[in-house]
Amino acid sequence: MGKAKRFRWECSGGHAGILAPSRLKLRDVRRFCFPCSTDAGELVERRAPALDKQRASRTTRAKDKRQEVNRRKAARRAAHFFFGGVCLRNELAILCSLDGVPNPFKIPTLQIRRARKMPRSCFGFARPRDHLIHLTVWPGAPLATILGTLAHELAHLLAHDEDPQDYDAGGRYVWHGEKFRWWLRTVLMNGYATDPRQLGILGAGVVDDVGLTGLAMAYDRSKVSR
């Protein structure tokens, strides 16, 4: 059995120190300086400076590590909402505080799915029941497509908020009706100074290629003023 490493234990009164292991039992006499104790009238402990230093640096290291882990977690969370250098959650918050949008309007929950390639049909959806917007992004997706989809889905939530009972004769909720189109126009006009009618927003409220280019340009312009 190897000999346990020993440390110098000493008092603050300048009396002779001793060498002892790092862990001492509570009642081990080596923990105490008797001359100091006699003077003070109660037990005075010795300290092992090397051990104190070790413990302090261990605590600091643990704290540094914890901070680093938290920093990385926060960065991952933030990165989740970034696409093409734009924080989509931030963008959504801006759109929700536009002129014309009811005030206050709770910022919807934003879900982002990262697909490997462009989805065949659906770039996103809105779920009014949960006040939620879901976007799909993929490598190389045009920013304007993503922003256009964000505006589109937000318009769904705004239209639904205005009239949750907007059903057609067959009892189906009207997703892309008058109210939706009005809201999409309001969001695009006030958010990106972009009139969807000029930009070729299709009847169903889908932004076409021309619209997307315009939206991208409008987005760059609007960054200056926002």
Q: Which residues bind Zn ion (CB under 5 A)?
A: 11, 13, 15, 33, 35-36
* Least distance to Zn ion, CB of residue 75, Å: 32
Of the pair 36, 216, the CB lying nearest Zn ion is at 36
* Least distance to Zn ion, CB of residue 175, Å: 5
Of the pair 24, 87, the CB lying nearest Zn ion is at 24
* Least distance to Zn ion, CB of residue 32, Å: 9
Of the pair 40, 79, the CB lying nearest Zn ion is at 40
* Least distance to Zn ion, CB of residue 78, Å: 28
Of the pair 129, 223, the CB lying nearest Zn ion is at 129
* Least distance to Zn ion, CB of residue 21, Å: 20
Distance CA 81, CA 203 (A): 29
Of the pair 13, 49, the CB lying nearest Zn ion is at 13
